A = this chain, B = another copy of it.
Amino acid sequence: MDDSGKESKFTAVNELAKRRGFFWNSYEIYGGAGGFVTYGPLGTRLKQNIENKLRELFVKQTGIFEMESSAITPGKVFEASGHVDHFKEPMVECVKCNKRFRADHLLEEYAKISSTEAEKMSLNEIHEALEKNGVTCPDCGGTFNAPQQFLTMFVTTIGPYAGATGYGRPEAAQGIFVEFNRLYAMAREKLPFGVIQIGHALRNEISPRQGLIRLREFTIADLEFFFDPEEPQCHLLRQVENETLRILLAENRLKDSEETVELTVKDAVAKRIIRAEWQAFFMAMAKKLLTELGVPAEKQRFIEKLPWEKAHYSSQSFDQEVYVDRWGWVEVSGHAYRTDYDLTCHMKASGADMRVYKEYATPVEKEQLAVKPVMAKLGPAFKKEAGKVAELLSKADPEEVAASLKKNGHYTVGNYRVLPEHVDISLQKTVVRGSRFVPHVVEPSFGSDRLFYVALEYAYRVKDGRVLLSFPRDIAPVQVGVYPLMSKDGLADKANEVRKLLAESGLMVEFDEAGSIGRRYARADEAGIPLGITIDYETLSDGTVTIRDRDSWQQVRSPIKDLPELLHKYFQGKLDFEDLGTLLRV
């Protein structure tokens, strides 16, 4: 369990996670079920703290709405969104043992064909590549049948009627798009505004084998930000404009280069490297988030997606990646410029009007052709039918009528042949006060379980042969440990008082009186508890306790009565450890 080998850190983190109850593979007693994990007590809190950090950044600080909808979704929604057609992966089956695999993953693993390349291939090309590279079943060595597309959404039936197909949502985004009109009303019909949804999502992976990185049920945080494409300026950009972003550009990736450029948000926007200002803003926020989760800037990057890698709805996409020990660069968030794709799809499929009205600053005068029937000529020409012809003409497109008369010398409407003399065509002025349009969307989308994993891996440290989880103090699952030096002589009672005092002040506290104080410190370090408070004999006489720092193992001494305020300021980042009391020489 050290930092040397690639395998060992991943294994050590997972072993620790399982032993201490951060997370483990679910349903072990039934032989396990690939792609499902259970978060234990420490993990559940860590995950909630990470999700609350997303809320802090986006809901509280940026004023974005939060909403919640269902994971099971009527079929129509994902038919309209394009998922039923596109949310598929190539799958092969071993002809010998009938085991099924994701074909592109086999190519990556056994034929060293990059995912970039594999994603571009047709089913036939995949088949050829598998054969050419002699890729066989990893389990039994058998050959594969022809690849087919596998829909990676969970399918179910809603209610008692066989036809009512429902899908498990692979993203929370559609739950937002379909409710756009209501959400827009709640934004008092003003753009821009954003809506985030953090919730479980489902992808029926073919053969998930990467722990928290590839799950069948996971937590997604989709943020859909709606804006007027004619007013794409981000008024919050200034807050982050000097933040730097490391980007692996599509043009470099096409040249098989891993070279990144590092540039400020301001420059990335000015050079049109990131096309939508709001997208640049959210990418900067995503970097801030990962940094606050404990991932150093040099272990983060954005990669621009290649045309064939982008989701079907995206005009420009970046993945935010973090370097992890076992898997290399792994996506933790996706940043897609979804344009008006989704709202337009749902408008078409549902018939609902999801356009918003924009009043022009000054009304625009427009000249438009108008076609006016000349009844004096129509009457003699069409007799009883003249009224009907006039009506049909009023509904016709004036541009079309004029063009046809000019080109053909007549215009056919219904069964009637209209001649130039039957109509007056003139330019008329109209005042247009505004227009309707479909808002554009940029979407940052975070995988909560992946954020969790990278936070855990980057917290993992070995010090003097012992394991610490050095979580940033504001995401630690337990904030304070309280330890009586001994269980006897009233020390445990005193410690319980301190525990209660701190818990009632709102801190997440754990009481531990089992084993030597050294063992308890070790246990606490491994659980990532930033501060430990020890109640000793001195406490009984002068009301002071020692506070111990998880990372430096330094200790300070402070009065109990000051603890609530001191600790709250410490966890708000307003005080450093050294400010908590008088430093002790240990």
Contact = CB atoms under 8 A, between A and B. Distances in A.
Contacts of A35: 158-159
Contact of A38 (B26, B43, B69): B69
A434 to B, nearest CB: 19
B155 A70 contact: no
17 contacts: A20-B186, A26-B178, A30-B349, A33-B158, A35-B158, A35-B159, A36-B70, A38-B67, A38-B68, A38-B175, A40-B183, A45-B66, A155-B156, A155-B157, A158-B216, A159-B205, A160-B204
A168 interface: yes
A401 B179 CA distance: 74
Contacts of A188: 514
Contacts of A71: 71, 200, 217
A150 interface: yes
Interface range on chain A (Cβ under 8 Å from partner) = 35 or more
A566 to B, nearest CB: 17
A30 B74 contact: yes
Interface string A342-366: 0000100111101000000000000
Given A38-B179, A69-B36, A188-B514, A350 B30 contact: yes
A72 B158 contact: no
A182 interface: yes
Nearest to A167: B156
Which 9 pairs across A and B sit closest by C-beta, in order of nearness? A70-B217, A29-B352, A41-B65, A29-B350, A39-B68, A38-B69, A21-B186, A100-B160, A36-B70
A60 B202 CA distance: 31
B186 A168 contact: no
Nearest to A64: B41
A122 to B, nearest CB: 20
A87 interface: no
Given A20-B186, A157-B204, A158-B204, 9 more contacts: A26-B69, A26-B70, A35-B159, A70-B200, A70-B217, A71-B217, A100-B160, A159-B207, A199-B200
A91 interface: yes
Interface string A58-87: 001100011111111110110000000000
- Determine the main DSSP class of A at the interface with B: mixed
Contacts of A100: 159-161
Interface in A271-307: none
A440 interface: no
Contacts of A40: 65, 67, 179, 182-183, 186
Contact of A26 (B179, B200, B514): B179
A269 interface: no
Nearest to A33: B74
A91 B44 contact: no
A144 to B, nearest CB: 13
| Copies of this chain present | 2
A193 B66 CA distance: 34
A503 interface: yes
Interface in A16-40: 18, 20-21, 24, 26-30, 33-40
Contacts of A206: 159-160
Contacts of A20: 186
Contacts of A76: 27, 30
Contact of A154 (B72, B179, B346): B72
Contacts of A178: 26-27, 29-30
A20 B65 CA distance: 13
Contacts of A205: 159
A156 B168 contact: yes
A370 interface: no
Contacts of A146: none
A529 B91 CA distance: 53
A342 to B, nearest CB: 12
A387 to B, nearest CB: 39
